């Protein structure tokens, strides 16, 4: 299971991908460690401006000579959420004002939108040419995919349903991530609502395998050797593991979040839009329960995230996990390792 057509094409030793984390949770240190161990390290860069992306990719190129993956979001905002209006601001305050008052923190101001686009971010990918460019929440246009192919950049798209996998296959992406609803983090659905696209990994992987000859990467609910082997039995060519790598000290996960992943509380997760505006899987917490019980609707992405940002910053400052968005997959109770090298060692041994 270790060396196959997938690993040969990527120029790596083992069919193990570290899932990319957005929102500042990725780190050069973690991605480089996984790549150096023979897997494919990843960095979630959707929130970075082009100049910041260049710096990260240059840092990765310095940290490792091995292949690595840069991940972007094709859709960077929900419809109607391009700009924070006064009405949006008022709606956000209705949800968060009691929390701000209780914590003694200020509400966020109305800020201008990001002054960069997905296409501008892609230009950095094309210029610096990382080995792998993965994307979620959609499919880049045909011109981008052609240019990636011309420059030798492998493209990897994420599907949450069979229909999405078929769309990615028809678009000509190089590889498809079949990401089941048991995964932690955001549900990157793009053909229907995320709530209407909740197919589990065990069901999704063999469906995707059936309709494409492209390499299939299984993601969601895989945190140790047993889950990895099951994915290969279902027809996956590789596995993408998120929460288990997020819990490693090399990630940029806040320490209270990392510590919470190793507690019994990690067994209880839920899907919610209340932290960012897009559906994602988190550990349950009193803060999430409070937001879910709000009578005021969540704002679309990324406006909802703007109102949660001061609360998250205060949680980091206090070292209080209960104030953080605790991203976690349903396999979190199986976590054992605190270092990426130890996790990779166990996974690689399990490939034999």
pLDDT digits (tens, 9 = 90+) for 288-339: 999 999 999 999 999 999 999 999 999 999 999 999 999 999 999 999 999 9
**Is position 303 within any domain?**
no
pLDDT at residue 94, as a whole number: 96
Q: Is the pLDDT of residue 3 over 90?
A: no
Q: Residues 1-30: what's their mean pLDDT?
A: 91
Q: Is the pLDDT of residue 278 over 80?
A: yes
Cite the DSSP H helix spans in 261-322: 286-292, 303-318
Beta-strand ranges (E) seen in 128-255 are 132-136, 154-159, 175-179, 185-186, 216-219, 238-241
Nearest partner of 31 among 40, 205, 255, 22, judged by Cα: 40
Q: Residues 111-116: what's their mean pLDDT?
A: 89
Q: How does residue 2 score in pLDDT terms, banded at 50, 70 and 90?
A: low
CATH classification of the domain holding 60: 3.20.20.70
The residue length of the chain stands at 352
**Is position 308 within any domain?**
no
pTM for this prediction: 0.96
Q: Is the pLDDT of residue 76 over 90?
A: yes
Residue 157 carries which DSSP code? E
pLDDT at residue 1, as a whole number: 62
**Is position 119 within any domain?**
yes
pLDDT at residue 112, as a whole number: 87
Q: Is the pLDDT of residue 31 over 90?
A: yes
Q: Which domain holds residue 139?
A: 5-76+114-252+334-349
**Is position 9 within any domain?**
yes
Q: Can you tell me the distance from the alpha carbon of 70 to that of 208, in angstroms, rounded to the nearest whole number?
A: 23
Express as a percent the part of the chain with pLDDT over 70: 99
Q: Is the pLDDT of residue 5 over 70?
A: yes
Any idea which of 27-31, 108-112, 144-148 has the lowest mean pLDDT? 108-112
**Is position 131 within any domain?**
yes
Whether the CB-CB separation of 104 and 37 falls below 8 Å is answered with: no
**Is position 22 within any domain?**
yes
Residue 30 carries which DSSP code? H
**Is position 201 within any domain?**
yes
pLDDT at residue 159, as a whole number: 98
Q: Strands of 216-219's sheet, edge to edge?
A: 16-18, 238-241, 216-219, 175-179, 154-159, 132-136, 68-73, 41-44
Nearest partner of 126 among 112, 107, 103, 144, judged by Cα: 144
Q: Residues 109-136: what's their mean pLDDT?
A: 96
- DSSP per residue over 118-137, as a string? HHHHHHHHHHH--SEEEEES
Whether the CB-CB separation of 253 and 230 falls below 8 Å is answered with: no
pLDDT tens profile 173-212: 999 999 999 999 999 999 999 999 999 999 999 999 999 9
Q: Residues 97-110: what's their mean pLDDT?
A: 96
Structural domain count, the chain:
1
**Is position 271 within any domain?**
no
């Amino acid at each position: 299971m270790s060396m196959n057509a997938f690993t040969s094409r990527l120029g790596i030793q083992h069919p193990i991908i570290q899932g990319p984390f957005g929102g500042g949770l990725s780190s050069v240190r973690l991605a480089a460690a996984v790549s150096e161990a023979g897997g494919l390290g990843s960095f979630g860069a959707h929130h970075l401006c082009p100049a910041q992306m260049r710096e990260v990719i240059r840092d990765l190129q310095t940290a490792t000579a091995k292949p690595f993956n840069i991940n972007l979001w094709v859709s960077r905002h929900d419809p109607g959420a391009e700009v924070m209006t006064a009405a949006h601001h008022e709606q956000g305050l209705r949800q968060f004002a009691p929390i701000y008052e209780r914590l003694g923190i200020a509400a966020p101001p109305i800020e201008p939108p990001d002054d960069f686009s997905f296409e501008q971010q892609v230009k950095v990918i094309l210029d610096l040419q990382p080995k792998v460019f993965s994307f979620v929440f959609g499919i880049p246009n045909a011109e981008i995919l052609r240019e990636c192919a011309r420059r030798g950049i492998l493209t990897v798209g994420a599907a949450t349903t069979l229909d999405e996998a078929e769309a990615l296959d028809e678009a000509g992406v190089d590889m498809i991530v079949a990401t089941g609803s048991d995964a932690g983090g955001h549900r990157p659905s793009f053909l229907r609502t995320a709530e209407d696209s909740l197919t589990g990994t065990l069901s999704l992987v063999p469906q995707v395998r059936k309709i494409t000859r492209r390499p299939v990467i299984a993601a969601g609910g895989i945190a140790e050797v047993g889950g990895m082997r099951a994915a290969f039995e279902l027809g996956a060519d590789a596995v993408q593991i998120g929460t288990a790598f997020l819990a490693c000290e090399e990630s940029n996960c806040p320490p209270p979040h990392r510590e919470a992943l190793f507690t019994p509380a990690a067994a209880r997760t839920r899907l919610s839009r209340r932290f960012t505006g897009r559906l994602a899987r988190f550990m349950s917490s009193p803060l999430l329960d409070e937001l879910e019980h709000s009578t005021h609707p969540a704002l679309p992405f990324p406006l909802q995230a703007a109102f949660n940002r001061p609360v998250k910053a205060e949680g980091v400052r206090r070292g209080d996990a209960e104030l953080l968005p605790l991203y976690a997959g349903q396999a979190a109770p199986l976590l054992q390792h605190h270092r990426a090298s130890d996790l990779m060692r166990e996974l690689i041994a399990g490939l034999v």
